[in-house]
Structure 1
Amino acid sequence: MSTSDDGYGGDYTNPTGQTRTRLPDSEGDIYGSGRRSRSGLSSRNLIAVVGVVVLLIAAIAFANRGTSSPGTDDAANGTPGKAPAARPTAPTGTDPVEGKNGTIAKGFAKTEQGAQSAAANYAVALGSERMFRADGRHEILAAVYTPGMAAQLKASQDKAYSPTFLKRLGLDAAGNAPRGKNFISRTIPVGTKVEKFGDGAAKVSVWYTALIGLAGTGSTDPVRSDWKTWTFDLTWTGGDWKIAADTQKSGPAPVTGDVPASGAEEITKAVDEFGGFTYAR
Structure 2
Amino acid sequence: MSPDDERNDGLFGGSGETRTRLPEGEGGDDLYGARRSSRSGRTSSRSMVTVMGVVVLLIAAIAFANRGGDESSSGRADEKKPDTAATAPTAEKPVGGKNGGIPSGFAHDEQGAQSAASNYAVSLVSADILKPARRTEIVKQLFVADKVSELQGKFDKTYSKEFLNKVGLDDKGNAAPGHTYVSRTVPVGTKATAYSDSAATVEVWCTGAFGTAGQDTTNPVSNDWFTLTLKLRWADNDWKVQSFQSKDGPAPVNGDNKVSTADEIAKAVQEYGGFTYAR
Equivalent position of 1:247 in the other structure: 245
Equivalent position of 2:159 in the other structure: 161
Of 79, 97, 112, which aligns to 1:114? Answer: 112
Structure 1 residue 129 and structure 2 residue 127: aligned?
yes
CA distance in 2: counterparts of 1:198 and 1:180, whole angstroms: 49
Equivalent position of 1:203 in the other structure: 201
The one-letter amino acid of 1:206's match is V
The one-letter amino acid of 1:253's match is A
Equivalent position of 1:220 in the other structure: 218
Displacement of 1:199: 3.5
Helix, strand or coil for the counterpart of 2:175?
A: coil
Contact persistence 2:191–2:203 (CA under 8 A):
yes
Structure 1 residue 181 and structure 2 residue 201: aligned?
no
Give 1 or 2 for the bigger CA radius of gyration.
1
Q: Structure 1 stretch 233-242 or stretch 171-180: which is displaced more?
A: 171-180
Helix, strand or coil for the counterpart of 2:243?
A: strand
CA distance in 2: counterparts of 1:177 and 1:186, whole angstroms: 15
CA distance in 2: counterparts of 1:130 and 1:179, whole angstroms: 18
Alignment of 1:40-59 (within 5 A): 52-54=72-74
Displacement of 1:168: 1.9
Helix, strand or coil for the counterpart of 1:258?
A: coil
Displacement of 1:210: 2.1
Equivalent position of 1:105 in the other structure: 103
Displacement of 1:95: 4.2
Of 128, 145, 151, which aligns to 2:143? Answer: 145
Measured against aligned partners, the alpha-carbon deviations of 1:45-91 in whole angstroms (never above 9, x if no partner) come to: xxxxx995259xxxxx9xx9xxxx87xxxxxxxxxxxxxxxxxxxx8
CA distance in 1: counterparts of 2:241 and 2:74, whole angstroms: 56
CA distance in 1: counterparts of 2:164 and 2:178, whole angstroms: 17
Helix, strand or coil for the counterpart of 2:128?
A: helix
The one-letter amino acid of 1:113's match is Q
Equivalent position of 1:27 in the other structure: none
Change (3 A) 1:150 1:186: same
Helix, strand or coil for the counterpart of 1:107?
A: strand
Displacement of 1:98: 3.3
TM-score, reference length from structure 1: 0.67
- How many pairs does the alignment contain? 204
CA distance in 1: counterparts of 2:260 and 2:169, whole angstroms: 22
The one-letter amino acid of 1:140's match is I
CA distance in 1: counterparts of 2:147 and 2:210, whole angstroms: 26
Measured against aligned partners, the alpha-carbon deviations of 1:134-174 in whole angstroms (never above 9, x if no partner) come to: 11111101001001111111111101001222122111122
The one-letter amino acid of 1:259's match is N
CA distance in 1: counterparts of 2:71 and 2:127, whole angstroms: 60
The one-letter amino acid of 1:276's match is G
Change (3 A) 1:51 1:181: closer
Q: Structure 1 stretch 92-101 or stretch 254-263: which is displaced more?
A: 92-101
Helix, strand or coil for the counterpart of 2:204?
A: strand
CA distance in 1: counterparts of 2:71 and 2:177, whole angstroms: 69
**RMSD (Å), alpha carbons:** 2.5
CA distance in 2: counterparts of 1:116 and 1:199, whole angstroms: 13
Stretches of structure 1 lacking an aligned partner (at least 5 in a row): 1-49, 56-60, 71-90
Runs of 4+ in 1 over 4 A off after TM superposition: 91-95
CA distance in 2: counterparts of 1:255 and 1:264, whole angstroms: 23
Displacement of 1:241: 0.4
The one-letter amino acid of 2:118's match is A
CA distance in 1: counterparts of 2:90 and 2:228, whole angstroms: 22
CA distance in 2: counterparts of 1:54 and 1:254, whole angstroms: 43
